[in-house]
Amino acid sequence: MGYYLLLPLTYLVSILPPFLLNGVADFFYILIYYVFGYRKKVVTENLKKSFPKKSEAEIKAIRRKFYRYFCDLILEVFKTLTISKKKMLDYCEMDKNALTLFEKYYSQNKNIIIVMGHYGNWEWAGNSFTLMCNYQLHVIYHPLQNKKFNDLIVNMRTRFGTKLIEMKNTYKDMLKNKTKINATAFIADQTPHPDKAYWTKFLNQDTPIFQGTGIIAKKLNYPIIYVSVKRIKRGKYKIYAEPLTDNPSSLTENEISELHTQRLEKDIIAQPEIWLWTHRRWKHKRPN
């Protein structure tokens, strides 16, 4: 019932011009931040522990900026339902050096692994990558329990040609696609089970990291590319990319985890308000 009630509203939001979309986002910001205080305690705690040297005023400023970005992001994702290819590239473009980098690996017939975080508009980045690059993009995802909402999200992510791989099938599907030139994207800042994770220091805290990225990269020996989605201004993003290693088989799984984790941390410190602070990233304690 909730799906059918929200679907018309979602499509209505998706066709709004930018100035109206921003107005709706501003209204949501007031509701979410001041009225309901959605996960404000979680966000505040995450920020304080990540930036222990910042003052109370600085933490509050980052928090306000984050919630404004968060409200924009939600509506921007809805816009993916009806956005044209041209508009998609107007809103989220790829840096020329990043495009050259991907073209270099593609010309060498190399499959690649992309690592990134919930930073900037990662949803738009996937669509723009597919529109601008020769690579067939596969994105690892975890299906939602609600089938209707899951189908809606899948439609938004695949309407320009991106393909999805269920997390549980990652290695099997990557092996199956090995003979085709493709790029597989891992969003590597989610929270794994603490007993099956690699633990490191991330944003001043003990943090569990999924080991799958390092394990698969070593087995397949695909070059690993870090992708960053910077917010240039409201409603405008740019995709940057840099190689982390061309030969992951020469590294340990933990060294690979350190590479992409440290690189993401650098981005978050530079522009903290566009990372997903509502996520309970540090809900587990490091095992003895």
- Does the pLDDT value for residue 25 go beyond 90? yes
Average pLDDT of span 166-194: 94
Average pLDDT on 155-177 reads 95
Given a contact cutoff of 8 angstroms between Cβ atoms, the answer to whether 209 and 198 are in contact is yes
The mean pLDDT of 17-25, rounded to a whole number, is 95
Residue 8 has pLDDT above 90, yes or no: no
Q: Please state, as a whole number, how many other Cβ atoms lie within 10 Å of the Cβ of residue 120.
A: 26
Res 145: pLDDT: 85
- pLDDT at position 89 is 97
Q: For residue 274, what pLDDT is reported? A: 98
pLDDT greater than 90 at residue 1: no
User: Strand pairing of 163-166 and 112-116?
Assistant: unpaired
**How does the average pLDDT of the chain come out, rounded?**
95
pLDDT of residue 95: 98
As given in the structure block, the two tokens for residue 226 are: 């870090």
pLDDT band at 3 (very low <50, low <70, confident <90, very high): low
Residue 9: pLDDT band (50, 70, 90) is confident
The confidence score (pLDDT) of residue 288 equals 78
Q: What is the pTM of this model?
A: 0.94
Arithmetic mean of pLDDT, 221-242? 97
Q: Is the pLDDT of residue 5 over 80?
A: no
Q: Do the Cβ atoms of 242 and 225 come closer than 8 Å?
A: yes
Mean pLDDT of 145-159: 89
> Region 264-278: what's the mean pLDDT?
98
Q: Which residues of 57-73 are buried (b: 16+ CB within 10 A; e: fewer)?
A: eebeebbeebbbbbbbb
Distance between CA atoms of residues 142 and 62, nearest Å: 29
Give the DSSP letter string of the chain: -HHHHHHHHHHHHHT--HHHHHHHHHHHHIIIIIIS-TTHHHHHHHHHHH-TTS-HHHHHHHHHHHHHHHHHHHHHHHHTTT--HHHHHHHEEE-HHHHHHHHHHHHTT--EEEEE-SBS-HHHHHHHHHHH-SSEEEEEE---SSHHHHHHHHHHHHTTS-EEEEGGGHHHHHHHTTTS-EEEEEE--S---GGGSEEEEETTEEEEE-SHHHHHHHHHT--EEEEEEEEEETTEEEEEEEEEES-GGGS-HHHHHHHHHHHHHHHHHHSGGGB-TTS-TT-SPPP-
User: Is pLDDT of 88 > 70?
Assistant: yes
pLDDT for 103-146, tens place per residue?
999 999 999 999 999 999 999 999 999 999 999 999 999 898 88
Question: Does the structure show a pLDDT above 70 at 2?
Answer: no
The rounded percent of the chain whose pLDDT value lies above 70 is 99
Write the pLDDT tens digit of every residue in 48-77. 999 999 999 999 999 999 999 999 999 999
